[in-house]
Homo-oligomer: A and B are copies of this chain.
Amino acid sequence: MTKKRKICAVITARPSYSRVKTALQAIKDHPALELQLVVAGSALLDRYGTAVNFIERDGFTINEKVFIVLEGENKTAMAKTTGLGVMELANVFYNLQPDAVLTIADRFETIATSIAAAYQNIPLIHLQGGEVTGNIDEKVRHANTKLADLHFVTSEDARERVIKMGEDEDYVFNTGCPSIDLAAEIVRNPKLDFDPIEKYGGVGGTFSADQDYLVVMQHPVTTEYDEAKRDVQKTLTVIDALQIPTFWFWPNVDAGADGTSNAIRSYREEHNPKHIRFFKNMEPFDFLKLLINSKCLIGNSSVGIRECSFMGVPVVNIGTRQNRRLRGTNVIDVPYDSDLIKKAIEQQLDTPRNERSEIYGAGKSGKKIADIIANIELRFHKTITY
């Protein structure tokens, strides 16, 4: 009997977890693989929704929890968090002895996972490389690509980009995004079978989800730190004026988090809006159900680009955060401008529902990823192809 390959995944934030959940599940269930799960960073923190609780509720066993988030409203804290992550994860990998390590996407601290693995000659698997966003996330994403040995990307253009950067095409796979696996389930059974306020609490106005409603999720854009406050205020103005029931989700942590959060909090205190309910977080499955039944998603979340394109949910995408990511016909892009945001929402409300698109996969991504990891020759030596 062959030994199972130990695959160590490091989850550092709530959205990363949602995105790869089906891949983790498929690794866990694969007869030739053993999942080792490390939860670190903001995924452990109450302020950012304690993703760790969802992870455990989903039936995963966590091998190690690692606290690394430095407090501070500045970029120095981001760098130090990453440094601390390298130190702690180096030790974790040394003790867990995985056959491969899996790092996800492009959050600043994901490079800590990459370094801790690559420097110890542990084959590094990177999910969701090759995309283009134009800020520090992009630098991190491509640096992760150059440290990684095996790449799973979510679209064809991403695959081509990774190969162009000099990666061996035999180790670059377009499996689609595992988040689409979840969306595919939702499409099969889209009924909203829970009351968001009853199940998740939140603060603000109280209303039912049986009527037409909007969803907002707007994150600060890291390198435009000082503008985070001003940016979100444009959206607040519009939503305030529209007076349509709205479920609003707080941003997750990064250097600008408090700018955005403070703007939202000030608005709440001053206006006490009855048509908006604010949530810290929601289980991914429920969140997608909320979206598929909504009239429109507003903000700059990548969910609008990926899951919503697959589910055919209209999206008003604000600002530069999703710049140059491949998108379906469901998305209208607007700058930080209240008038244009308002017009785009109205346009989405007025036109019939979009067709579903499979540019980010057709489901089964998690399974495909696990199968490849189980069968490919894992290696940590590579060289640029040109």
List of B residues within 8 angstroms of A382 by Cβ: 134, 138-139
Q: Does A274 contact B (CB under 8 A)?
A: no
Contacts of A203 in B (CB 8 A): 269
Hey, which chain B residues are within 8 Å of A223, CB to CB? 121, 380-381
Is A327 close to B, CB under 8 A?
Answer: no
The answer to whether A383 and B79 touch across the interface, beta carbons within 8 angstroms, is no
**Are A79 and B146 in contact, with the CB atoms below 8 A?**
no
- Return chain B residues, CB-CB under 8 Å to A77: 67
Count of residues in A whose CB is under 8 Å from the partner chain: 73
Most chain B beta-carbon neighbours within 10 Å: one of A67, A83, A108, A383 = A83
Nearest Cβ on chain B to A336's Cβ, whole angstroms: 17
A115 within 8 A of B: yes
Known: A71-B47, A112-B83, A381-B223. A76 touches B94 (CB 8 A): yes
Q: Which 7 A-B pairs have CB atoms at the shortest separation, nearest pair first?
A: A83-B86, A83-B87, A79-B90, A142-B146, A79-B119, A134-B383, A143-B143
A118 at the interface (CB under 8 A from B): yes
Q: A115, B83: Cβ atoms under 8 Å?
A: yes
- Complex contacts, A164 vs chain B, CB 8 Å: 164, 166, 386
Main secondary structure of the interface of A (DSSP, over half): helix
A38 to B45, CA, bound (A): 26
Q: How far is the CA of A67 from the CA of B84 in the complex (A)?
A: 12
Is residue A64 contacting chain B, with contact meaning CB distance below 8 A?
yes
A67-B80, A86-B86, A133-B383 known; 15 new pairs, CB 8 Å cut-off, are A45-B71, A45-B72, A46-B73, A65-B94, A67-B72, A74-B94, A75-B119, A80-B91, A83-B84, A83-B87, A88-B91, A119-B136, A121-B223, A142-B166, A164-B386
Rounded to whole Å, the gap between the CB of A91 and the closest CB of chain B is 6
Give chain A's interface residues, CB within 8 Å of chain B. 44-47, 64-80, 82-91, 93-95, 108, 111-112, 115-116, 118-121, 132-136, 138-140, 142-147, 161, 164-166, 203, 223, 258, 269, 323-324, 380-384, 386
In the complex, A119 Cα to B110 Cα: how many Å?
A: 13
Q: How far is the CB of A364 from chain B (nearest CB, A)?
A: 29
Complex Cα–Cα for A83 and B82 (A): 7
Task: Tell me the complex Cα distance, A46–B74, Å.
Answer: 10
Q: How far does the Cβ of A370 sit from chain B's closest Cβ, in whole Å?
A: 25
Complex CA distance for A147 and B223, rounded to whole angstroms: 14
Partner of A76, one of B79, B90, B269: B90
CA distance A108 to B86 in the complex (A): 13
Contact A86 to B79, CB < 8 A, known contacts A142-B166, A383-B132, A384-B142: yes
Of the candidates B73, B82, B91, B142, the one whose C-beta lies within 8 Å of that of A86 is B82
User: A146 is contacted by which of B47, B71, B116, B139 (Cβ under 8 Å)?
Assistant: B139
Q: In the assembly, what is the distance between CA of A84 and CA of B88, in Å?
A: 10
